[in-house]
Structure 1
Amino acid sequence: MKIRLLLAAFVLLLVLCGSVFGEGVSSRGPSRSFRRSLISSLPAGIAGGVAGSTGTTLLFPLDAAKTLRQTNPKVYSSLGSSLRALLTTRANKVGVTPATLRRLYSGVGVASFWSFPSSFLYFYTYTAFKGALPLSGPLLHSVSAASGNAVSSIIFVPKEMIKQRSQMTGMKVGECISTIFRDKGLKGFYVSYIPTLFRNVPSAVLRFTIYESLRSNIEAVKSIGVDGGDERGGSGGVMFAVAGGVAGSAASLLTTPLDVLKTRMNTGDFSGVVQCAKYIARNDGMKGLFAGAGARAGWSCAFSAVGFGVFEAVKSALENGSENRNFGRVGVGDGDGVGGNCNCVGGRCELKKLQ
């Protein structure tokens, strides 16, 4: 019931945003402008999907260790101790064996596979809203990030549920799915939807606001050629990755209690957020809400650095490829390049704005 109410509220938010958008740009045709934003955001969505899958696969062992630490902070006092536990063999020795590798990567398939559509929806919605809403600055980034998160969580939440159950129990993905569905039905996959939004929306707002601010500074530096590279190359990729790492670690550190609640609800049996929070406070103290804060910040730093770095690189490649294809089609049969959709002056060709 709560999930349906939340989704209904989000749909209402979309309608209200659309109304505001329509009032702000009615003279330009809001529906046409919004459709253009949806189409132009496709490269960003694809780039986001690739970035999400890449980051999830590369950093999955660290994520597994973080999940184990948050599930039982009294037993696992650090990320290192939980990582050693995952690498401990039956002979009570720490080593890399087929069994420990299976434990480290239990659930990686479903996580990586579903990371693509989840991240696609996230970046696609974020970019589409950012290009369509009549807002600016941090407010624009905040609303766009919150919208992208609400949409992508429809896929992200059940994916996280299956992944974390698999990490903690060692069950195969199919077994996890059948167990959850048998015990709680379809709603069992969404028990952490509310705490996930409580965690992800503030985290996304902080992450994207910080990143966009750093990104604008990077673009300003690149535009004057300080990095010595071309407009999209040079050290820009590294700078985007660093900016993503800084934004990710800051956002994750501040929202760790919300992440702990989400993890406990995914791996435990709680009826609601309040019951889960009381249980943690009673058994682990207030510090239990910050279990794994350092590890999570470090993991998020690496994940965001990889994610934003890959995102910018793939998006740039897709946009450049699209521009090159459009350029190759323009002015075909016009000979001197005059007329059609192309203006050529002094050896430089530019696309005319389509009417």
Structure 2
Amino acid sequence: MADEVEYEALSPNAGLSVNMLAGALAGITEHSVMFPVDSIKTRMQVFATSPAAMYTGIGNAFTRISSTEGVRALWRGVSSVIVGAGPAHAVHFGTYEAVKELTGGNREGNVSPWLSAPFAGASATIASDALMNPFDVIKQRMQVHQSEFRSILTCARTVFRKEGISAFYVSYPTTLTMTVPFTAAQFTVYEYIKKLMNPRGDYSPLSHIVAGGIAGGVAAGLTTPLDVAKTLLQTRGTSTDPEIRYCRGMLDALRIIWRRDGLRGFSRGLTPRVVTHMPSNALCWLSYEFFKATMRERP
């Protein structure tokens, strides 16, 4: 019988292929489980004109959507996330671990982890978002109230035909402006709490869950205003409002939100966003650390 691999005896960097595969599996798990709450968040952030598409909270949205459109409507667009999240998270975690190793974040006694983690997290985000952004646009177009799309291919073809390739990347600068600080905050908080709870570096699912959940909630709350702007840009093609439909970028989106809803507008979808990210981040980190520990071998 082969000897068991001890988690604490393994190199902190498990190798690019292991990190990427672990990240892909973790990403698919994370996004799939919390997708219905993400759908509610998207709908709450859209500036809708129909009373049927206006919701006062998660419970209200869930009840109304499931009773008028069916529970399956809350899962509309999940296929886009599954297709995109695997490769995007593989790139994300692969880049994160590679950059953290290059910048000394894995070396014992090195003080650089506090600089290494946010730099590695930001680098990972820039790479993965370039891949994920088109899938996120498709996902949100399928999530909105009375969406005409039931297939990601149909959605992609229609958006490309009517709005061109720019529709898939008009929100990319906003996404980066949001997710670079999101990821930097998430990874910094995660690494800090994980080391605080588990200073020996043993395999500790509890520390991964707690650290991941807190990190996700903090990062989600801090970046919600930019997420509202991102949603406006990614769903602009579904709007009948000319100002929203022809919104040109992040600054335009921020001005529209401020003019129409003031400061309150920047907190649209805050609760479902935090509710989504806390358990999904906890699950993501738990899955990532588990898959990484399971797949890697002694050097």
Q: 1:274 corresponds to which residue?
A: 251
Q: Summarize the alignment of residues 124-273 of structure 1 with structure 2, pairs less than 5 Å apart.
A: 124-134=94-104, 136-168=112-144, 169-172=147-150, 173-220=152-199, 222=200, 231-232=202-203, 236-268=204-236, 269=245, 270-273=247-250
Instruction: Give ranges in structure 1 of 5+ residues lacking alignment.
Output: 1-36, 90-98, 224-230, 327-355
Q: 2:5 corresponds to which residue?
A: none
Indicate the SS of the match to 1:291. coil
Instruction: Give ranges in structure 2 of 5+ residues lacking alignment.
Output: 1-11, 106-111, 237-244
Structure 1 stretch displaced more, 114-123 or 289-298: 289-298
Cα distance in 2 between the residues matched to 1:208 and 1:77: 32
CA apart distance, 1:134: 4.7
Cα distance in 1 between the residues matched to 2:219 and 2:155: 30
CA apart distance, 1:76: 1.6
Q: Is the 8 A contact 2:121 2:184 kept in 1?
A: yes
Overall identity of the aligned pairs, in %: 30
Q: Is the 8 A contact 1:260 1:291 kept in 2?
A: yes
Question: Alpha carbon RMSD of aligned pairs, Å?
Answer: 2.0
Indicate the SS of the match to 2:266. helix
Cα distance in 2 between the residues matched to 1:217 and 1:191: 40
Cα distance in 1 between the residues matched to 2:213 and 2:14: 29
Q: Is the 8 A contact 1:69 1:292 kept in 2?
A: yes
What TM-score do the two structures reach when normalised by structure 2? 0.84
Q: Summarize the alignment of residues 340-355 of structure 1 with structure 2, pairs less than 5 Å apart.
A: none
* Deviation sequence 1:262-291 (CA, Å, 0-9, x none): 111111122111111111111122111111
Amino acid of the structure 2 residue aligned with 1:128 = A
Cα distance in 1 between the residues matched to 2:139 and 2:13: 31
CA apart distance, 1:85: 2.7
CA apart distance, 1:190: 0.7
Amino acid of the structure 1 residue aligned with 2:159 = I
CA apart distance, 1:260: 0.7
Amino acid of the structure 1 residue aligned with 2:43 = L
CA apart distance, 1:160: 0.5
Q: Is the 8 A contact 2:104 2:113 kept in 1?
A: no
Cα distance in 1 between the residues matched to 2:191 and 2:261: 37
Q: 1:105 corresponds to which residue?
A: 75
CA apart distance, 1:137: 2.4
Aligned residues: 267
Indicate the SS of the match to 1:255. helix
Determine which structure has more spread, i.e. the larger CA radius of gyration.
1
Cα 1:39–1:294, aligned 2, differ >3 Å: closer, same or farther? closer
Cα distance in 2 between the residues matched to 1:175 and 1:246: 38
Q: 1:349 corresponds to which residue?
A: none
What TM-score do the two structures reach when normalised by structure 1? 0.71
| 2:257 corresponds to 1:289 | no
Cα distance in 1 between the residues matched to 2:30 and 2:36: 11
Indicate the SS of the match to 2:220. helix
* Deviation sequence 1:206-225 (CA, Å, 0-9, x none): 000000111222331x56xx
CA apart distance, 1:157: 0.6
Cα distance in 2 between the residues matched to 1:170 and 1:124: 36
CA apart distance, 1:163: 0.3
Structure 1 stretch displaced more, 129-138 or 196-205: 129-138
Cα distance in 1 between the residues matched to 2:13 and 2:46: 40
Q: Is the 8 A contact 1:106 1:170 kept in 2?
A: no
CA apart distance, 1:39: 8.0
Cα distance in 2 between the residues matched to 1:209 and 1:101: 37
* Deviation sequence 1:135-175 (CA, Å, 0-9, x none): 61221111111110000011111110000001111512122
* Deviation sequence 1:17-62 (CA, Å, 0-9, x none): xxxxxxxxxxxxxxxxxxxx99823212211110110111111111
